[in-house]
Amino acid sequence: MKTLFTFLISIMSLSIMAQSTFLKQYSYWDRAEANAVFEESDGYVVGLCADIGESGYLILLKTNFDGDSVWTKKFLLNRQSAYINDYAVDDARNKILIVPQFGGTENVFKFDNDWNLVYNGSLGLEFPYNIKILNDDNYLILSKSQDFYRAHKINSQTQEKIWSEDTLINEYNYSIGNILENETGGFIITTKNRGFEPTYIGSTIYGLNSAGQIISNYTFNQFVLGTTKFEDRNLLSLAYKDQNTTGYNAIITYQTDGTILDSTGITVQQTSYTQFIEDGNKKVMAGMLFEPGNNFFHTAIASFVNDENVWTKNHGDANSNTDKYYPSEIKKTSDGGYIIVGILTNNGSSLPYLLKTDSVGNIITLGISEKNYQYNWMIYPNPATDLVQISFDKKDQWEKVVIYNNLGTIVKEYTLPVHTDKFTLNAENFTSGVYFCGLINRSSKSPLNKMIIVR
């Protein structure tokens, strides 16, 4: 039997290899919606909002490069049914997350490079939706009041308003796509406009001056499903779907004055791509693939060069007509692959998922089943003082909880009750320090999770 030391050394050796590819789900919460993912030097951090009991929380979930849970941080919100609508990362690597909540309340969270909380509070805005870090290091935030959007410039140090512009966008605008700061200090804003079926208003590009006032606008008829994050200061790209044509998507490129440079269509039957990024000469898109006859919705990832489909890969074990994989964000990773965060919905429940692929959209199993998410489990809070909650994906999967000290010696064993996917551990008699927790049954053992007790 391997000692704990040998086990940890083997894990460290694996961590310096190429990143794994995987699809993993995280079923630790009553309802969860994951909308952001960040690549770190040793794994990923997923930003999500979850309902736990009667309360809503912002939750940060850290995983290693295999997608296994490492730690979580939980922050109480004012209400349930929240989500991360947008975020930004400044030059100091602070992360600013915009979290609207049901009923119009809001929180803005700011974290430092190590995910320590720097600021959590309200900016006094009704439903802030979008954030852009400006060239002067302040923020432009767009908020929604009833059916109107408003622009606000916020001081990044004091969180106070520098100015607010209350007459931004009319009632037909459904949501903001992107914000671009131009070289004159003004802003370009794209919108997805709302109409009534079967007529859709389309999308609009707004030009704002440096005080947030509209100085130009350009509307086109296509209904935008997804837009890029801006990488180029002079151009912007939009992915749209023609509402009257099944399975038709296109990538359309505009100059900031609204001039169309490229609007060649891409015919992809039964697929709606809602997220995409530009990767060199490729446009890589993520969306849902509809499987005719079964009503299954998988996650699709595809690459296009000069509007020609180079490859398309489908992932997600949708096994009923209620399974739907909704991708929320796609990013390129440092190893040349792609990471997608999203939500798997089924019969009213919603589970966060992470999908990591290689550079051509594949999951490479290396002889290990893709179902390795069967070992997903979590310890929280962590660090803890007295009570520790242990949650895992499936009931009746494990029989015992085993606690080791840092020398690999078993210090405590607990027999799990039947038909449970949660266990509460009373750590009152544990001294301060680092422990390792594992789950076992008659035929297998889980990977170990670190558990920190603080007095």
- Structure tokens, 256: 């900031």
The half-sphere exposure of 318 on its side-chain side, counting CA atoms within 13 A, is 26
Do the domain assignments include residue 435?
yes
We report the CATH number of the domain holding residue 394 as 2.60.40.3080
Residue 449 lies in a domain: yes
pLDDT at res. 98: 87
The string of pLDDT tens digits covering residues 298-334 is 677 777 666 567 777 877 765 555 567 888 888 999 9
pLDDT for residue 253 is more than 60: no
Of 81, 84, 115, 60, nearest to 381 (Cα)? 60
Residue 221 zone, left/alpha/beta (φ > 0; ψ -120 to 50; rest): alpha
Is pLDDT at 184 greater than 70 in this prediction? yes
H or E element: which one contains 11? helix 4-15
Residue 159's pLDDT is 87
- Dump pLDDT digits (tens) for 116-149: 999 998 888 877 878 889 989 999 988 876 667 7
The alpha helices in 59-187, defined as continuous H runs, are none
pLDDT for position 297: 57
The amino acid present at 208, given as its one-letter code, is: L
User: Which is higher by pLDDT, 25 or 246?
Assistant: 25
DSSP secondary-structure letter at 161?
E
- DSSP code, position 373: G
Which amino acid makes up residue 239? A
Residue with tokens 């001081």: 155
The pLDDT-based confidence of 401 (bands split at 50, 70, 90) is very high
Residue 51: strand pairing partners: 31, 56
* 226 Cβ contact partners less than 8 Å away, ≥ 6 residues apart: 238, 239, 273, 274, 275, 276, 285, 287
In a domain, 110, yes or no: no
β-bridge pairing 400-404 and 433-440:
antiparallel
Q: Provide the pLDDT for residue 37.
A: 96
Question: Cα 453 from chain centroid?
Answer: 29
Confidence category of residue 111, pLDDT binned at 50, 70, 90? very high
- Contact between 351 and 30 under an 8 Å Cβ cutoff? The reply is no
List for the chain the helix, strand, coil content (%; round to 5).
5, 55, 40
Q: What are phi and psi of 76, to 5 degrees?
A: -65, 135
- Among 286, 188, 264, CA closest to 230: 188
Lowest mean pLDDT among 103-112, 221-230, 311-320, 365-374: 365-374
Higher-pLDDT residue of 170, 393: 393
Higher pLDDT, 219 or 307: 219
Most confident residue range from 1-15, 246-260, 293-307, 390-404:
390-404
Across 51-67, average pLDDT: 90
**Residue 359 resides in a domain:** no
pLDDT of residue 63: 93
Contacts of 170 (CB under 8 A, 6+ apart): 147, 148
- Chain centroid, CA 1 distance in Å: 39
- Asked whether the predicted pLDDT for residue 246 surpasses 80, the reply is no
Is residue 40 very low, low, confident or very high in pLDDT (cuts 50, 70, 90)?
very high
- What is the rounded average pLDDT of the residues 433-441? 85
The one-letter code for the residue type at 331 is: K
Would you state the pLDDT for residue 288? 67
Confidence of residue 154 (pLDDT cuts 50, 70, 90): very high
Range of the domain at 397: 376-453
Q: Looking at residue 196, what DSSP letter applies?
A: B
**Residue range 378-407: mean pLDDT, rounded:** 82
Mean pLDDT of 353-366: 81
Q: What whole-number distance in Å separates Cα of residue 140 and Cα of residue 449?
A: 40
Q: Which residues contact 113 (CB under 8 A, 6 or more apart)?
A: 92, 93, 94
pLDDT at 267 (0 to 100): 44
Answer whether residue 269 shows pLDDT above 60. Answer: no
Closest by CA to 131, choosing from 177, 104, 161, 98, is 98
Residues 32-49 have a mean pLDDT of: 93
Question: Average pLDDT in the 61-77 region?
Answer: 91
Percent of the chain's residues with pLDDT above 90: 16
Residue 25 within any structural domain of the chain = no
3-state class of 13 per DSSP?
helix
**Per-residue pLDDT for 270 more than 50?**
no
Please give the residue that has the higher pLDDT: either 393 or 341: 341
pLDDT greater than 90 at residue 380: no
pLDDT (mean) for 398-410: 83
Give the mean model confidence (pLDDT) for residues 396-411: 82
Over 50: is that where the pLDDT of 382 sits? yes
Amino acid 115: pLDDT: 95
Cα separation, 282 vs 140, whole angstroms? 30
Round to whole Å and give the CA distance between 421 and 357.
29
pLDDT, the chain, mean: 74
Instruction: Please report the pLDDT score of residue 223 as a whole number.
Output: 52
Nearest in space to 120 (alpha carbons), one of 110, 112, 134, 129: 110
CB 395 within 8 A of CB 439: no
Residue 384, pLDDT above cutoff 50: yes
Query: How many domains would you assign to the chain?
Result: 1
Here the tokens at position 138 are 């302040």
Pick from 251-255, 304-308, 446-450: least confident: 251-255
Residue 226 scores a pLDDT above 50: no
Q: Is the pLDDT of residue 88 over 80?
A: yes
The answer to whether residue 246 is domain-embedded is no
- CA–CA separation, 287 and 276 (whole Å): 9
Amino acid at site 107: N
pLDDT confidence band for 174 (50 / 70 / 90): low
303 SS3 class = strand
Q: Indicate whether 327 belongs to any domain.
A: no
- pLDDT bin (cut points 50, 70, 90) of residue 259 is low
Q: Would 413 be classed as within a structural domain?
A: yes
DSSP state of 333: -
Q: How many residues does the chain have?
A: 455
Residue 49 pLDDT: 92
Q: What's the confidence (pLDDT) of residue 441? A: 81
Residue pair 285/268 in contact by the 8 Å Cβ criterion:
no
